[in-house]
Chains A and B, each alone.
Chain A
């Protein structure tokens, strides 16, 4: 798994590459540090699929950003990931662009 971060002003973009499952989720969890950013974009364009281990991280990230009044956007969602988001109702919670 590869995690790249890029900050532009107050916007933090985290690009994830590789599958997100039980094995890789701890690695991603460690990489989701938002600092002072008020807007965070998680780019999943290179994530072929995500299991419920990843969903937990997305939910935590969403709650964290909400708590400090910021926004979280999920970008580049692939079909398999989208399917999981839809089934679990996460499409309604997360700000997917």
Chain B
């Protein structure tokens, strides 16, 4: 348990660490991403801002150029240099020139452009470069043309030239502006140009003059003219000079980070949920694995307990194959892996057999442990050879010792004298057995004594019963009569009596018949309790003949005669085939075994009537049952006679058993006839 808790803690801690790590990584990644995105946005915005500012400035300059043209035409054409210089000063432009359709400058505020004695006038067409571009204006009407701010073709000075078509001559008027003139003219048109622009949520654009005065600001619209300072580190920002105006685009870092925060937050929630789910899943998988292991281990141990318990009670039938005076059969079907029922039987003297069925209160492992104890106590008391009531009393006293759980055992124990058929029995609180006496089947009801294990020092009443050959006692536990069906109806005493009456009980068929009938009654309902039963059938003392022989044909002949005599009264079909089988075994011993002596025992049994032969020899080990049967389908020419004798024995006798004991081969073979009851 402690192990599991610390496992869970470790699991939770490692999952939490993984969560923090993944969140830190997400945060870092998205910070980098949002910075990159902010600068990307700034660069893209600059393109728009540049276009917008150029348009704005050029629009202003074109207007100025038109104003110049108007004044020239008003004042009358042609004009002299001095008037143009005055006009230029008045209208804040650096220079003014007028060209004819050929591109020759016919008037200018700059005397160098005009024709003089030693050189012709400046010609746009032939000058090439920036100047030649202006020639587009003569294609008129109403053309206008702006050039970028750059060094001019004429003398390399930095100028921005703007020209408009002149309707009166078909030529054009050109004004040129240096930086200062440009700024002066454009300044007013740039005022508040970007006031309403927003970049990346809360960011914006600021345009200033070269001297650092604000022209357009997005934050505080009335700050024009105030002095500008570079943004601090709480912004992503860039500066660019456009048309001579330092322009800033800036995005507050916290605004850019909003998206990151939302993303990281959402990821945290989703990751958290996923990790919790995974942690729960892993925890569940591990704990169910552990539970399964425990279950498997328990099942394995219970299986071993079952095996130990079943090995503790006799389970080979018939248990005494050489014993012809009684049959005993028993079975135990436990409701769980281990049960609290048991049966037992053993010889307590040369001609006394104790047999019992018992039921420990409770079920499962505790009952099974008490059962093993009870079984051992009764057996150890019985081995002293004392009368049965004393055996039970001793066992009871032993079971009461230290029985703090107040577990008790009901038992029916009987002791059969196999010579006389007399049974002494003690009933310690157990169900009454069913007896078959002289063909009549009934319950053997008697006042029961106290259960075992309840109180030390109790006297147990011994009772008597006389069995005749063919009589039987059937013992069972209450699991049989108390098995219920789905409707809750018990199997019951009456039904049990009926089933037992209808069955001969030979060879233990009775036991399987009862179990089948109980199952039929239960009709699928769960087996509620252990079902244990035992049948003891008294057959009586057999008539017996025993002879000893040497391995000669004379003695073989004598043995055949002895057997024929011993079989008197047995129906011919049985005795004849028995003679054949015996002859086969005798011949094998005399001819092949190398035995120096051999014996024949003939036992006549009643209820059922039958004959059993026990043939022993001290020859070399030979198990006829292990022999392969000869092929009985060959044609006459291929047939051999060898092996046929043993085949005849195996096919006609039942049961046939072989064992090797004290350097002797011991072969038994039996046959029943007549009344099967």
Q: Measuring CB to CB, which residues of chain A are less than 8 angstroms from any residue of chain B?
A: 19, 21-23, 48-53, 55-56, 59, 62-63, 66, 78-80, 83-84, 87-89, 92-93
Contacts and interface: CB of A to CB of B under 8 A. Distances in A.
A22 B556 contact: yes
14 contacts: A21-B579, A22-B556, A22-B590, A23-B583, A48-B572, A49-B576, A49-B580, A52-B584, A80-B572, A80-B573, A83-B652, A88-B632, A93-B635, A93-B636
B639 A52 contact: no
Nearest to A67: B637
Contacts of A78: 576
A84 B560 CA distance: 18
A79 B651 CA distance: 15
Contacts of A92: 633
A26 to B, nearest CB: 9
Contacts of B560: 21, 23
Interface size bracket, B side: 20 to 34
B636 A63 contact: yes
B573 A51 contact: no
B583 A51 contact: yes
Contacts of B553: 22-23
A87 B641 contact: no
B586 interface: yes
B580 A23 contact: no
A84 B580 contact: yes
A87 B556 contact: no
B636 A66 contact: yes
A50 B583 CA distance: 9
A63 B639 CA distance: 10
Given A23-B553, A92-B633, A55 B576 contact: no
A23 B579 CA distance: 12
A59 B641 contact: yes
B636 A22 contact: no
A25 to B, nearest CB: 9
A88 B639 CA distance: 10
Contact of B641 (A50, A55, A79): A55
A19 B579 contact: yes
A84 B103 CA distance: 148
Most buried by B among A23, A48, A89, A93: A23
B644 A49 contact: no
A66 B632 CA distance: 19
Nearest to B564: A19
B639 A59 contact: yes
A88 B573 contact: no
Nearest to A23: B557
Contacts of A84: 577, 580, 648
A80 B577 contact: yes
A21 B644 CA distance: 13
Given A21-B560, A89-B634, 18 more contacts: A22-B583, A22-B590, A48-B576, A49-B577, A51-B583, A51-B584, A51-B648, A56-B641, A66-B636, A79-B576, A80-B573, A80-B576, A80-B577, A84-B577, A84-B648, A87-B648, A88-B644, A93-B639
A97 to B, nearest CB: 17
B587 interface: yes
B644 A52 contact: yes
A86 to B, nearest CB: 9
B645 interface: yes
B interface: dominant SS: helix
B648 A22 contact: no
Nearest to B646: A52
Contacts of B637: 63
Nearest to B586: A22
Contacts of A23: 553, 556-557, 560, 583
Contacts of B576: 48-49, 78-80
Given A19-B579, A51-B580, A59-B636, A87 B586 contact: no
A88 B583 contact: no
Contacts of B652: 83, 87
A89 B632 contact: yes
B199 interface: no
Contacts of B584: 51-52
What are the 6 A-B residue pairs with the smallest beta carbon separation, nearest first?
A89-B632, A80-B576, A49-B576, A56-B641, A52-B645, A51-B583
A11 B579 CA distance: 33
B580 A80 contact: yes
Contact of A51 (B590, B635, B645, B651): B645
Given A52-B641, A59-B639, A93-B635, A87 B583 contact: no
Contact of B647 (A22, A63, A88): A88
A6 B632 CA distance: 33
A50 B586 CA distance: 14
Given A80-B573, A88-B644, A53 B583 contact: yes
A66 B639 CA distance: 14
Interface string B584-603: 10110010000000000000
B345 to A, nearest CB: 37
Contacts of B586: 22
A62 B638 CA distance: 12
Most buried by A among B579, B580, B634, B645: B580
Contacts of B647: 87-88
B272 to A, nearest CB: 86
Most buried by A among B553, B557, B641: B641
A27 B173 CA distance: 165
B295 to A, nearest CB: 55
Contacts of B648: 51-52, 84, 87-88
A22 B652 CA distance: 18
A87 B633 contact: no
B592 to A, nearest CB: 12
A27 B504 CA distance: 47
Most buried by A among B556, B590, B632: B632
A92 B400 CA distance: 72
A37 to B, nearest CB: 19
Interface string B483-515: 000000000000000000000000000000000
Contacts of B583: 21-23, 51, 53
A79 B543 CA distance: 27
